[in-house]
């Protein structure tokens, strides 16, 4: 994928006229030349597509530009942990029935630390919930979202193999330049929504990004275990970093984090040695580890925009905030961005799509949830990933305390399910 070579903010005026309409885009272009052009989403990842479907449900037309070919991500096996709140969103969008055969519910979460006392259990039954979360592969989720849009495409104009190459934000609109399968093209929109996962758009002038590299990598892989997972997700804190094992079908999805040099070492081990090292780090709860699939690694960072919008442009999902995967929060925060922005756009007259006031209202609504998600994951990484004796005792005491306080567990489960 090509990086966006230029993103400019300039002040020359671009005309746009107001009329809201939900007619197909081509029809709008010919029959209503004065209609307001639709909002444009850059990136058809899960966050971009949830936004597109939410706008469709609200009767707002939208264009989506995606660099990849249709279906390119359907085989991506990375495991996402969906919260109860994300399930509700997918139910409302009629996507849930399409992914339910591919999901694995998490009935319990077990939190522990290597070489230390203290552990805690979170149980769905204790909180009157059917599950604490749901594991699904990125590919299965993308397939379900695409299937849902193919069955009911009204008002959503998805253009695949269209990599955005530049964004010029003017006083009254944004111009998006993209490569339409080899042909340069431009779209003018009152609102450009950047949902590219932070993969190609590093900086928008006027928007300050704060980045903290943890110096840690995550290694993800599917593993098989001697004992069945019984729908339990495990979070184990080790001196190198947290290890998560999520139930996924009859296997487990492993997220093994640690300093880059440490992950370098385990990434290159032969399968048998890798499985043995994992057993040492994780312990005996699932018996021996018997098989490991393809190992994929990625660097971990905390990254956030101080302000997520300019007039006529807004950034959502992983592009707006990237957090450590320790508590499975990042993806769900991104979905809540998409829902909140769709509600904001739907409640805004077309003439004011992209207005700074409306986007400021969107940001005000999202700041607390995003900030809490970033703080919580950063706190867990800092407190649970160091080997100081005093800190080890304190976190053991913290886990022990949590296991004795049902009210505290209830608050934690609520925040993890629905955000702040």
Ligand X SMILES: Cc1cc2nc3c(=O)[nH]c(=O)nc-3n(C[C@H](O)[C@H](O)[C@H](O)COP(=O)(O)OP(=O)(O)OC[C@H]3O[C@@H](n4cnc5c(N)ncnc54)[C@H](O)[C@@H]3O)c2cc1C
| Residues of the shown chain interacting with ligand X in the complex, contacts defined by CB under 6 A | 1, 4, 42-48, 65-68, 78-81, 163-164, 195-197, 199-200, 220, 255, 296, 298, 317-318, 325, 328, 330-331, 334
Is 197 or 283 the residue whose CB approaches ligand X more closely? 197
Q: Which SS3 state, helix, strand or coil, does residue 75 take?
A: coil
CB of 318 to ligand X, least distance (A): 4
CB of 338 to ligand X, least distance (A): 8
Is 96 or 331 the residue whose CB approaches ligand X more closely? 331
Show the tokens assigned to 100.
């339910």
Neighbours of 257 (CB within 10 A): 25
CB of 178 to ligand X, least distance (A): 7
Is 116 or 336 the residue whose CB approaches ligand X more closely? 336
Rounded to whole angstroms, the Cα distance separating 66 from 158 reads: 8
Is 116 or 282 the residue whose CB approaches ligand X more closely? 282
CB of 95 to ligand X, least distance (A): 14
Longest dimension (CA), the chain: 72
CB of 370 to ligand X, least distance (A): 13
Rounded to whole angstroms, the Cα distance separating 410 from 120 reads: 13
Q: Supply the DSSP string of 300-335, one letter for each residue.
A: EEEEEESS-EETTEEE-GGGTEE--GGGS-HHHHHH
CB of 128 to ligand X, least distance (A): 25
Q: Which SS3 state, helix, strand or coil, does residue 309 take?
A: strand
CB of 67 to ligand X, least distance (A): 4
> Residue 372 forms beta bridges with which residues?
none
* DSSP collapsed to 3 states, 14-32: CCCCCCCCCCCHHHHHHHC
CB of 152 to ligand X, least distance (A): 20
Is 4 or 232 the residue whose CB approaches ligand X more closely? 4
> For residue 184, how far is the Cα from the chain centroid?
30
Is 45 or 242 the residue whose CB approaches ligand X more closely? 45
Is 107 or 217 the residue whose CB approaches ligand X more closely? 217
What are residue 24's phi and psi, to 5 degrees? -55, 150
Is 255 or 302 the residue whose CB approaches ligand X more closely? 255
Pairing of strands 321-322, 174-180: unpaired
Sequence-distant (≥ 6) Cβ neighbours of residue 405 within 8 angstroms: none
Contact 303, 318 (CB under 8 A): no
CB of 190 to ligand X, least distance (A): 19
Is 202 or 387 the residue whose CB approaches ligand X more closely? 202
CB of 401 to ligand X, least distance (A): 27
Is 56 or 318 the residue whose CB approaches ligand X more closely? 318
* DSSP collapsed to 3 states, 356-384: HHHHHHHHHHHHHHHHHHHHHHHHHHHHH
Contact 179, 165 (CB under 8 A): yes
Is 197 or 396 the residue whose CB approaches ligand X more closely? 197
Question: Token match 């139930």: residue?
Answer: 247
Residue in 253, 223, 262 with CA at minimum distance from that of residue 235: 253
Residue in 316, 320, 309 with CA at minimum distance from that of residue 357: 309
Contact 236, 282 (CB under 8 A): yes
Show the tokens assigned to 269.
């081990």
CB of 355 to ligand X, least distance (A): 24
Q: Which SS3 state, helix, strand or coil, does residue 176 take?
A: strand
Rounded to whole angstroms, the Cα distance separating 260 from 114 reads: 19
């Amino acid at each position: 994928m090509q990086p966006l070579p230029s993103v400019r903010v300039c002040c020359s005026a671009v005309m746009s006229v107001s009329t809201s309409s939900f007619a197909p885009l081509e029809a709008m272009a010919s029959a209503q030349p004065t209609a307001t052009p639709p909002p444009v989403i850059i990136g058809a990842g899960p966050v971009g597509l949830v936004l597109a479907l939410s706008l469709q449900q609200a009767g707002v037309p939208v264009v989506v530009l995606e660099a990849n070919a249709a279906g390119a991500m359907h085989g991506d096996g990375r495991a996402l942990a969906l919260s109860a709140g994300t399930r509700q969103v997918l139910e409302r969008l009629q996507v849930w029935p399409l992914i339910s055969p591919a999901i694995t519910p998490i009935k319990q979460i077990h939190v522990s630390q290597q070489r230390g006392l203290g552990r805690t259990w979170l149980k769905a039954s204790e909180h009157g919930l059917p599950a604490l979360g749901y594991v699904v592969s990125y590919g299965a989720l993308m397939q379900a979202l695409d299937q849902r849009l193919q069955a009911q495409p009204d008002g959503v104009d998805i253009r695949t193999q269209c990599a955005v190459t530049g964004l010029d934000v003017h006083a009254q609109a944004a111009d998006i330049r993209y490569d339409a399968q080899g042909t340069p093209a431009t779209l003018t929109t009152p609102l450009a929504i950047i949902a590219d996962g932070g993969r190609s758009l590093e900086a928008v002038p006027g928007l300050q990004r704060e980045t903290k590299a943890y110096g840690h990598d995550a290694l993800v892989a599917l593993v098989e275990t001697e004992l069945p997972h019984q729908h339990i997700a495990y979070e184990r804190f080790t001196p190198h970093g947290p290890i998560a094992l999520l139930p996924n079908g009859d296997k487990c999805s492993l997220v093994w984090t640690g300093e880059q040099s440490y992950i370098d070492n385990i990434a290159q081990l032969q399968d048998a040695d890798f499985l043995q090292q994992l057993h040492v780090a994780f312990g005996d709860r699932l018996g021996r580890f018997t098989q490991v699939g393809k190992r994929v690694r990625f660097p971990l960072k905390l990254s956030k925009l101080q302000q997520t919008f300019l007039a006529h442009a807004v950034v959502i999902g992983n592009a707006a905030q990237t957090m450590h995967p320790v508590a499975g929060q990042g993806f769900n925060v991104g979905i809540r961005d998409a829902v909140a922005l769709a509600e904001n756009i739907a409640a805004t007259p077309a003439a004011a799509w992209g207005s700074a006031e409306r986007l400021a209202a969107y940001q005000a609504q999202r700041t607390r949830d995003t900030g809490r998600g970033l703080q919580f994951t950063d706190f867990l990484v800092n407190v649970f990933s160091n080997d100081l004796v005093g800190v080890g005792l304190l976190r053991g005491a913290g886990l022990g305390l949590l296991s004795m306080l049902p009210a505290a567990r209830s608050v934690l489960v609520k925040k993890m399910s629905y955000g702040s």
